[in-house]
Amino acid sequence: MKNLIKSALLALVSVFLITACDMEKNSDSSIKAGHAKVNFYLIDAPANYDEVWIEVLSVEVLMKGNNEDNGSAWINLPYESQDQKINLLSLTGGTSEYLGEMEIPAGEISQIRLILGDDNYIMQGGERLDLKTPSAQQSGLKLKVDKPLNEGISYDLVIDFDASRSIVKAGNSGQYILKPVLRVIAEESATIEGTVLPLEASPVAVSALIDEDSVGTFADENGKFVIRGLKGGNYTLIFTPNEGYQEKELKDIITELGKVTNIGSVELEEVVEEVPAESEEGE
């Protein structure tokens, strides 16, 4: 498998989110003694391309106390899909790709990495543009997690791949380079959801801003959007529709850890073109 590229896509956008579970509510008697269950999902942040395709081979987990240079210490979860390719830009509006689940020894996750193949590309204007991967990433970029897992509990792990920041155009060469960026949160998080109308304003990019941080997604074909993995606080939402509609900003959207803030429906207004007044005769 010499053509396979091992890329640990880990850091804008890209999210690693482990949901802290209530012991009584989420205890699963089917989990082996001494183990916890982790469900893996992939979501995306917006990017200015028609399609962004990545070839996902597996997810790997390293438990605390193991040497990261020891290949056998990584617990591997193969991504069992027919062609193993995912269009990241389809993972918006609350849509996620289920990568699989595994039972791992209770303890503390030290690091994770997402393993990619070499069939990664973008589609723009009907043209396929292959994504090159720097050789420095072939050994895998690792991200520290340090998240404890309790015995008998199920957890959700969400990887948020920031496609826009992960694709870099290499000068005037015409080549595009894949430098994966993921966002990781190893604690209970907040969520903002809602609906953007009218549907004719699509595509609508939705960005949540707090301090100097920005997290975003696109509304889906029904206008729904979901932004996960947020910290608690006061957010500003910016809605950027197609050129026929006006951008809109909503301030003071309050989030709380472990809760979903539903803002309901947001109505966007059409762009009204000003018609120049006709000059009077004789002027």
**104-126 confidence digits (pLDDT tens):** 999 999 988 888 888 899 998 89
Mean pLDDT, residues 82-99 taken together: 87
Q: Please give the pLDDT value at position 206.
A: 94
Name the average pLDDT for the chain.
Answer: 81
Query: Using 50, 70 and 90 to split pLDDT, how confident is the model at 25?
Result: very low
Highest mean pLDDT among 96-100, 156-160, 213-217: 96-100
pLDDT of residue 15: 40
What pLDDT does 148 receive?
84
Is the whole model's pTM more than 0.75, yes or no? Answer: no
Task: Determine the Cα angle at 139 with ends 65 and 57, to 5°.
Answer: 90
Domain at 189-272, CATH class: mainly beta
244 pLDDT band, cuts 50/70/90, is: very high
Instruction: Return the domain boundaries, the chain.
Output: 1-187, 189-272
Look at strands 167-169 and 190-197 and give their pairing.
Answer: unpaired
Q: CB neighbours of 205 closer than 8 A, spacing ≥ 6?
A: 46, 216, 217, 218, 239, 240
> Band of the pLDDT at 51, cuts 50, 70, 90?
very high
Q: Is the pLDDT of residue 54 over 80?
A: yes
What pLDDT band is residue 184 in, cutting at 50, 70 and 90? low
